[in-house]
Amino acid sequence: MKGIITPLATPLTPGGDALDAVGTRRLLAHVIAGGVAGVFILGSTGEGPSLSPALRRDFVALCCALVREILAAEEGKGADDKRNRFRVLVGVSDTCLQGTIELASHAANCGADAIVVAPPYYFPITQVELKSYVYHIAEKTELPIYLYNMPALTKITFEIETIKELARHFGDRGRIAGIKDSSFDLEYMSQLCHVKRELCPSWSILTGAESQVAKVVRMGGDGGVVGGSNIFPEAFVAFYDGASTGNQAMEDDAYKQIEKLKAVYDMAKGRFVQATKTCLSVLGLCEESYALPLLPFDAGERLLVEKVVADIRGMSAT
């Protein structure tokens, strides 16, 4: 898998305890029209760990159905056939192994293309235990697996030696399809690209760092799973396309838009879910509603978001 994958926000109704189906349709149509290669649902940006098991299952079913419907409609309008290229990835991470396996089975039944597995959080675990966890999931599930390295939130890293051992064990047999790394560590990413070249050339190496997509592509990576593509998918697709084709002007123009989102992220101070959903609310794509305990930005913070979004829209219109 190559290109930009959107870690989809989860549109919720006011109160945060029910899915906003209309907002979900708008958001999916927005990112598909923007040219992304796929969506990753129930990840960090999608508030996956904060949603009830029932909501997670319902969101998987809703997204898979809506993606099929939207892609079929695009094809009917004479657009290129995306149905064989667009992918739906489902985050199935849970502190309970059985919960992970059950959600993975549900994702397969709904027509998802792959599952995404982060290390179980809360208890400290060793690399041996982490490998065992992946082996168990691979044995009990049918969809290809993308590993998810997110040490800031899970408090454990998929160490490079662990990745090598998993690559040697699974090889290019399709059980593991790749890894998303959100460590923001370019040296670690460079080592992942080396493992891909040496042991598992079919794996996709994807970054979660928006500003690093072009650097990762030049290292030999395959693209990015980046939250900002919820908001301005065209800019991130152009950023990737420019880097992957050597079109420096395209890359630079796209980065000028992407860079402006930094003002929102800096103000958010780690509240990336609110940063994303406030932008989406300003664009009229979904409500600014969250699963508790997350709360919306205050009025002053929203004003800054409105200004940044207006600035970027003005740039993309010229």
Answer whether 223's CB lies under 8 Å from 37's CB.
Answer: yes
Q: Rounded to an integer, what distance in angstroms lies between the CA atom of residue 305 and that of residue 297?
A: 10
148 is catalytic: yes
Q: Rounded to an integer, what distance in angstroms lies between the CA atom of residue 90 and that of residue 100?
A: 11
70: Cβ contacts below 8 Å, ≥ 6 apart: 25, 28, 29, 32
Helix axes 299-317, 233-245, angle to 10 degrees: 50
Answer whether 290's CB lies under 8 Å from 12's CB.
Answer: yes
Give the single-character DSSP code of 315: H
Based on C-alpha coordinates, what's the Rg of the chain?
A: 19
Give the single-character DSSP code of 12: B
255 is catalytic: no
Q: Active site residue: 148, 240, 255, 290, which one?
A: 148
Q: Active site residue: 146, 164, 180, 215, which one?
A: 180
Q: Rounded to an integer, what distance in angstroms lies between the CA atom of residue 52 and that of residue 14?
A: 16
The CA-based dihedral angle spanning residues 269, 275, 278, 279, taken in that order and rounded to the nearest 10 degrees:
130
Per-residue tokens: 229:
């593509």
- Short-list 269, 161, 268, 179, CA closest to 277: 268
22: Cβ contacts below 8 Å, ≥ 6 apart: 11
Catalytic residues: 148, 180
